Chains A and B, each alone.
Chain A
Amino acid sequence: MSAWFSLRKWSPYAVGIALGVLSWITFGFMSKALGTSTSMVKLAGAAECLVAPAHADANAYLAANIGTAAKRKAILDWQLALVAMLPIGAFVSARLARAGGEPRFVEHVPKVWAWRFGPSRPLRYAAAFFGGIVLIIGARLADGCTSGHGISGGLQFAVSSWTFFGAMFVSGVVAAFALFGFEGRKHV
């Protein structure tokens, strides 16, 4: 068993089964669905409350997510606690894998990115920042991301979620080939 935990990687099917079982637990025993992107709204709202509270209160979308100063909704909630622990879980997994022989992994500029756009860290960081902006605008417009729509909505066969899933996949494939081209396949 301990050897299994220090394996470098599990089969994607094993991981998928475990994620499926995790959603039985969240649906059945916590009355929650796995999701992450609403937490970004909570974080943005919390930041705005600190620097521009009046502006935050006046925004209907933020008010729907975090309430207003007069009637505050929970900002640190189930999902934000989940999101806060994601890096810890990944860190524990990575450390166990390292104990099993996996080399230490630190990435500033991904290999395929460096091949296509050069090794510049500022350029990659700027792209990651910009990508993050685009990603969450898409997720909030669609009302979910790869976990909320992809896994939780997908397993419920929600029309919204399968529409999102199809659109996201097609768009991602087009974007990936536009960005890296067919040659890029040799560098991932």
Chain B
Amino acid sequence: MSDTLTTLAVTTLPLSQLASAAVAPGKELLLGAITGLVFGFLLQRGGVTRYSVIAGQFLLKDFTVLKVMLTAIVVGAIGVYGMRSLGMEVPLHLKTATLWGNLVGGLIFGVGMVVLGYCPGTGVAALGDGSRHAIPGLLGMVAGAAIYAELHPWFRRNLLEPLDLGKVTLYGQAGVSVWVFVVGLAAIAVALFITLERWGANRPTAHPAP
């Protein structure tokens, strides 16, 4: 009897229908939740859940965003490619180089990031850091996803399909070891950071040093 009821409920109500098949295994959700907790903590700690810090980056006054991102990229690359070099099975998650999409999408994204004042991750995290205008921002992001879903066929035909290089990497295209790029980027990052710190044009604004 209860089985019949469950079946009935699952097949008739769209909500329970969604719920039945739409949830990933608990372990995966737990790992995602822990990752999100740490990620959100770090974004707030870095000051990048603040509009002034993001706007300050694009006005080339406060280089916090670039420092956080470049450091994360270099450290992340050393670990991920290091584990692979040690023979560990660490799959890559490369996104397809549909260059017109990456380029035009990036240009559109930059405008949105300045007007909203956040990227998707920092915008959602900012909800927990006192940003009230991030609430309409999040609603806009969901609306934007719905709008994109309608526009996708046009974008696919005109921007994505004409130029698709596949899941390629810079070091693969250059035909060199990934470590050339890791060491090269690390050197550029260190030189840039030293310059920025000396220049002093990068005084943090939202969180003045104690």
Q: Are A23 and B129 in contact (CB under 8 A)?
A: no
For chain A residues 26-82, which have a beta carbon within 8 Å of chain B? 26-28, 30-34, 36-37, 39-41, 43-50, 53, 59-62, 66-67, 69, 72-82
Q: Are A82 and B67 in contact (CB under 8 A)?
A: no
Closest B residue, CB atoms, query A182: B59
Which residues of chain B come closer than 8 Å to A141, judged between CB atoms? Answer: 101, 104-105, 108, 148, 155, 159-160
In the complex, A16 has a CB within 8 A of chain B = yes
Q: Are B59 and A184 in contact (CB under 8 A)?
A: yes
Shortest 5 CB-CB contacts between residues of A and residues of B:
A132-B140, A16-B71, A89-B40, A142-B105, A20-B75
Q: Are A172 and B58 in contact (CB under 8 A)?
A: yes
Q: Are A155 and B76 in contact (CB under 8 A)?
A: yes
Contact of A157 among B21, B108, B150, B178 (CB under 8 A): B178
Contact of A179 among B115, B168, B171 (CB under 8 A): B115
Q: Are A155 and B77 in contact (CB under 8 A)?
A: yes
Expressed in whole angstroms, the minimum distance between the Cβ of B115 and any Cβ of chain A is 3
Which interface class (under 10, 10 to 19, 20 to 34, 35 or more) fits A?
A: 35 or more
In the complex, A173 has a CB within 8 A of chain B = yes
Kindly supply a per-residue 1/0 record for chain B positions 132-150, scoring 1 wherever the CB is within 8 Å of any chain A CB and 0 otherwise.
1111111111111111111
Which residues of chain B come closer than 8 Å to A149, judged between CB atoms? Answer: 95, 102
Within the assembled complex, what's the spacing in Å between the Cα atoms of A64 and B144? 17
Which residues of chain B come closer than 8 Å to A87, judged between CB atoms? Answer: 40, 124-129
Within the assembled complex, what's the spacing in Å between the Cα atoms of A22 and B44? 15
Knowing A46-B18, A135-B120, A175-B58 touch, does A159 contact B149 (C-beta < 8 A)? no
Most buried by B among A37, A67, A87: A87
Closest B residue, CB atoms, query A124: B133
Q: Are B140 and A133 in contact (CB under 8 A)?
A: yes
In the complex, B162 has a CB within 8 A of chain A = no
For chain B residues 73-108, which have a beta carbon within 8 Å of chain A? 73-80, 83, 88, 90-99, 101-108
Within the assembled complex, what's the spacing in Å between the Cα atoms of A144 and B167? 14
Which residues of chain B come closer than 8 Å to A99, judged between CB atoms? Answer: none
Knowing A62-B149, A127-B115 touch, does A89 contact B110 (C-beta < 8 A)? no
Contact of A88 among B119, B128, B150 (CB under 8 A): B128
Which residues of chain A come closer than 8 Å to B165, judged between CB atoms? Answer: 159
Which residues of chain B come closer than 8 Å to A177, judged between CB atoms? Answer: 58-59
Contact of B136 among A84, A128, A139 (CB under 8 A): A128
Which residues of chain B come closer than 8 Å to A53, judged between CB atoms? Answer: 14
Kindly supply a per-residue 1/0 record for chain B positions 58-74, scoring 1 wherever the CB is within 8 Å of any chain A CB and 0 otherwise.
11111010011111111
Within the assembled complex, what's the spacing in Å between the Cα atoms of A127 and B75? 35
Contact of B51 among A48, A66, A78, A107 (CB under 8 A): A107
Q: Are B129 and A105 in contact (CB under 8 A)?
A: yes
Which residues of chain B come closer than 8 Å to A137, judged between CB atoms? Answer: 108, 112, 144, 147-148, 151
- Besides A9-B204, A78-B35, A131-B113, 11 other A-B contacts (C-beta < 8 A): A10-B46, A18-B38, A40-B144, A41-B148, A61-B153, A69-B17, A89-B42, A113-B117, A137-B108, A141-B105, A157-B181
Q: Are A12 and B119 in contact (CB under 8 A)?
A: no
Which residues of chain A come closer than 8 Å to B56, judged between CB atoms? Answer: 185, 188
Expressed in whole angstroms, the minimum distance between the Cβ of B86 and any Cβ of chain A is 10
Which residues of chain A come closer than 8 Å to B23, judged between CB atoms? Answer: 74-76
Contact of B108 among A13, A47, A113, A138 (CB under 8 A): A138
Within the assembled complex, what's the spacing in Å between the Cα atoms of A13 and B65? 10
Q: Are A44 and B115 in contact (CB under 8 A)?
A: no
Q: Are B128 and A91 in contact (CB under 8 A)?
A: yes
Q: Are A180 and B115 in contact (CB under 8 A)?
A: no
Contact of B115 among A24, A31, A36, A131 (CB under 8 A): A131
Closest A residue, CB atoms, query B131: A107
